[in-house]
């Protein structure tokens, strides 16, 4: 990434994520690379008398991929969506204690063209494993257009959008949906 302003914003965002996520920088995956990724894992267990007797357990995962660019067009966005779905789904391992996995793409761009904005808002992907007995996964996208200080997300990505707004929004208000 060459843009120092985007680098500064990414560093600030990664600091916020680092409180609950494991951060990796300069990640290369098959077919592409990301300036950073963040991984969240939570396991919750219920016991009977002692930890040897686990009654139930659930696991939650979030695999977040960060992407930065000076200008985001629809074709580039579609490539990033396809790539993050592919590498994220490869990390999802459904089993009886798996509850949910989220694959998230967080974008910082100076400008985003209108077709890309439409694609962000309409992108939806969910998958249930064994009729949800082995959990589900959901795809999230959140983006910030730094030139206008506006934030966008798909319907599932509102949580990621809120993190962007809280950490990078100068006025506390969001433009866009």
pLDDT tens string 139-151? 999 999 999 999 9
Residue 31 has what pLDDT?
82
With contact defined as beta carbons under 8 Å apart, do 140 and 103 qualify?
yes
Contacts 24+ apart (CB under 8 A), 7-14: 7/68, 9/108, 9/144, 9/146, 9/168, 10/35, 10/36, 10/66, 10/68, 10/108, 12/167, 12/168, 13/66, 13/106, 13/108, 13/163, 13/164, 13/167, 13/168, 14/38, 14/66
Q: Is residue 1 over pLDDT 60? A: no
pLDDT in tens, 21-54: 999 999 999 889 999 999 999 999 898 888 888 8
Q: Is residue 97 over pLDDT 50? A: yes
Residue 148 has what pLDDT?
93
- Provide the 10 A C-beta neighbour count for residue 161: 23
CA distance 100 to 39: 13
Residue 49 has what pLDDT?
84
Residue 48 has what pLDDT?
86
Pairing state of beta strands 136-145 and 150-153?
A: antiparallel
Q: Is residue 163 over pLDDT 50? A: yes
Residue 109 has what pLDDT?
96
């Amino acid at each position: 990434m060459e843009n120092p302003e985007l680098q500064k914003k990414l560093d600030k965002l990664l600091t916020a994520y680092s409180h609950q996520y494991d951060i990796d920088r300069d990640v290369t995956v098959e077919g592409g690379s990301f300036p950073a990724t963040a991984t969240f894992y939570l396991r919750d267990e219920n016991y009977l008398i002692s930890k040897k007797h686990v009654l139930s357990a659930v696991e939650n995962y979030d695999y977040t991929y960060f992407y930065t660019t000076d200008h985001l067009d629809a074709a580039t966005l579609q490539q990033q969506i396809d790539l993050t779905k592919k590498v994220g789904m490869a990390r999802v391992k459904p089993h009886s204690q798996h509850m949910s996995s989220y694959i998230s793409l967080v974008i910082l761009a100076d400008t985003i063209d209108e077709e890309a904005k439409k694609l962000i808002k309409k992108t939806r992907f969910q998958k249930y494993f064994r009729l949800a007995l082995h959990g589900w996964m959901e795809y999230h996208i959140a983006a910030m257009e730094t030139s206008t200080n506006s934030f966008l997300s798909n319907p599932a990505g509102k949580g990621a959008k809120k993190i962007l707004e809280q950490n990078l929004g100068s006025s506390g208000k969001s433009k866009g949906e």
